Amino acid sequence: MRPALALTLLVLLLTPVFCQADDAILRDYIPSGVITRFEEPVEYWVGGEDRLEGTYYVDTVVNELRGILPGLAFREVSSRNQANVRLFLTDSADEWQATVTGSAEGAAGWQELGERIRGFTRLVASPKGAIRRADIVLHLDFQTSGGQKLWIVRHEFMHALGVMTHPKAAPDSVLNSMQAQQDKNGRFSQSDILVLRTMYDPRLAAGGSW
């Protein structure tokens, strides 16, 4: 084999291949057609009364996301002021409500619908769609299994990374809140992964489309 040909094949083998989700799937997840995403590394901070147990679930999901989005760096930082993703882990209904109210401007009258409080995410983005900060509040105590807790963290991270709606035609998505409580154990679905990889394709940018 010629050296030039061998080098070309090696480059092709080592270059990440991003399979883009088809338009119908993308429109289901992102109805506006406009990409909102991080253009800088994700620097995340974990705090709150329930952080000792909850950190395990956060670390597990962050490691999954590192595999899904190898071009997006995830780094844990020690100060909430350094972070562009702030995770607040709460262990009581009162702390949950106080944290949501304190972390999200304009949420003073916000109340959880239903008895099983789970997660809340708020994004701050530039007019061009670059995410500046995401606040995630998690309350994991009502969940009956580790799988359910991981599902909630995956769900909120999908929002924090720029998918702000809930797809209607993807029953296996971690964003499908209509699932029965006992069924909320799934990993990131194939469509979840394809949508995230499309959004964070290095050939695209915040504020653009696919």
Locate all alpha helices (DSSP H) within the chain, ordered by sequence.
3-14, 23-29, 51-68, 93-103, 146-160, 190-199
| Residue 86 forms part of a structural domain | yes
In total, how many domains does the chain have?
1
pLDDT of 161 above 50: yes
Average pLDDT over residues 101-127: 69
| Residue 184 forms part of a structural domain | yes
Closest Cα to residue 28, out of 177, 194, 168, 189?
A: 168
Give pLDDT tens digits for 5-48.
454 444 444 444 556 778 999 999 999 999 999 999 999 999 98
Closest Cα to residue 20, out of 164, 197, 155?
A: 197
Give pLDDT tens digits for 58-94.
999 999 999 999 999 999 999 999 999 999 998 877 7
| Residue 100 forms part of a structural domain | yes
pLDDT of residue 13: 47
Q: Which residues constitute the domain of residue 131?
A: 40-198
| Residue 10 forms part of a structural domain | no
| Residue 138 forms part of a structural domain | yes
For the record, the structure tokens of 136 come out as 């995630």
CATH number at residue 187: 3.40.390.10
| Residue 97 forms part of a structural domain | yes
Question: Do β-strands 131-139 and 119-125 pair in parallel, antiparallel, or remain unpaired?
Answer: antiparallel
CA 57 to chain centre: 13
For the record, the structure tokens of 154 come out as 């995956």
Reduced to 3 states (helix: H, G, I; strand: E, B; else coil), residue 44 is: strand
* Contact in structure between 136 and 121 (CB atoms under 8 Å): yes
pLDDT of residue 130: 98
For the record, the structure tokens of 71 come out as 């071009």
| Residue 25 forms part of a structural domain | no
| Residue 9 forms part of a structural domain | no
